[in-house]
Every structure is written in C-alpha cells, then in structure tokens.
Amino acid sequence: MDHKPGNRDIVVIGGSAGAFDPLRAIFARLPADLPAAIFVVLHIGESNKHLPGVLADGPIPVQWAKDKARFKRGCAYVAAPDHHLLLVRDHMRLTRSPRENRSRPAIDVLLRSAAVNNGTRVIGVLLSGYQNDGSADLIAIKERGGTAIVQDPSSAAVPDIPSCALQATTVDHVASPAEIALLITDLAHRPAAPIESPAKT
C-alpha cells in the first residue's frame, strides 16, 4: 500500500548575490493562506541579519528558524546567521557544522536535508547567485520525487546558480520571480506523489 504524504508543503529557497530583490518579489506575491512552510538560505553574509525584516512586507509571517522547533504552514523561516538550517520531518535543526561552499548557513545543507527527510513534499527553488551552490542538492530533491524550480538566468543579476542548476539536472520550471510565486502557490495545493512502501519479502 502507498502512504499519502499530503501536499507539496515544504518550500526551500536558496540564492546569493542578486537574490535579495527576487526573493522580495516572490514573497510579495504569495497568499497569506499558502498551505506550505517556506525556508530561506541566502549566501549574503552580514545582510542575512536584516532578511526577516525585509521579507516581512509581504503577507507571509517571517521569523528566524529555531532549533528543534516545529514548523507551520503559512509561515516562513530564515536560517540564523552562522548556523546551518536543516529540516528533519516536521521540525527544524540549527547546527554549526563545517561550512559548505564557504558558507554557513549553506544552501546545500537545507536542500539536502529537505530532500532526504521530506521527499516528494519538497519544492526546491534556486535564485540568482555565484558559482554552482545548490545544484548538487537540487538533484537530490529531484531524485526523491520533489519539484525543482530555478530563476530564469536572463532575469538574474548573477546567473551562475540558476545556469549551473540547469546544466546539472532537468528542472521542472524555469521562471521569473513573479512566475515563481505563482508556481509555488499552485504547487502547494497539489498532492505530493505517494511514497511507496518497501516490498515485502
């Protein structure tokens, strides 16, 4: 028998240079009753300290992620400065384990933990930024039945991250920030693919 995990209710978003404005555009267009929780990691150094306040202009409540706290649909969580953000089923973990891609928090840590622990429920989004951060673990999201979205490189101030993701895997959607908001809203109302039970021997 298959187990139905519910909707695609976990949205993980990563970016770095040039991702601030696209992220604000996405949050401004999300509905207040979005049936999903959103998690954000940006590789932007000290600017991260202001991220919850910047995103609070939109209809979705935004707060710092807290270690061992359960997350709720209709809320957004930002990785705390100098801490990786991981998702473990229905709650968050913060750690100070080694940097990845020279960053802590790191995009890859968030995407990888979401993929491993939440599979088909995950919508992964990569925005503007340098190098190939997030590409490997966007692949992990796809391999576990999740949905992959990247910002259209032509709309990105720094197209490296979305361009590398497009080279690394077959993504589900390439879109502008405004279109990404509409995609997240639509996908969050769709059921995730069922998780197959291990075959009996």
Catalytic residues: 16, 43, 133
The one-letter amino acid code at 112 reads: R
pTM surpassing 0.85? yes
Q: pLDDT by residue (tens digit) across 40-55? A: 999 876 556 778 888 8
In this prediction, residue 85 carries a pLDDT of 97
Q: What are the structure tokens assigned to 14, written together?
A: 């990563």
Question: Is 81 inside any structural domain?
Answer: yes
Is residue 196 in a domain? no
Structural domain contains residue 199: no
**Boundaries of domain holding 101:** 2-190
Has residue 171 been placed in a domain? Answer: yes
Number of domains within the chain: 1
Looking at the predicted structure, is the pLDDT value of residue 102 above 70? yes
DSSP-assigned states of every residue in 84-138: EEEEETTEEEEE-PPPBTTBSS-HHHHHHHHHHHHGGGEEEEE-S-STTTTHHHH
Give residue-wise pLDDT tens across range 121-164. 999 999 999 999 999 999 999 999 999 999 999 999 999 999 99
Q: Is residue 17, in this structure, part of any structural domain at all? A: yes
Say which CATH number the domain at 100 has. 3.40.50.180
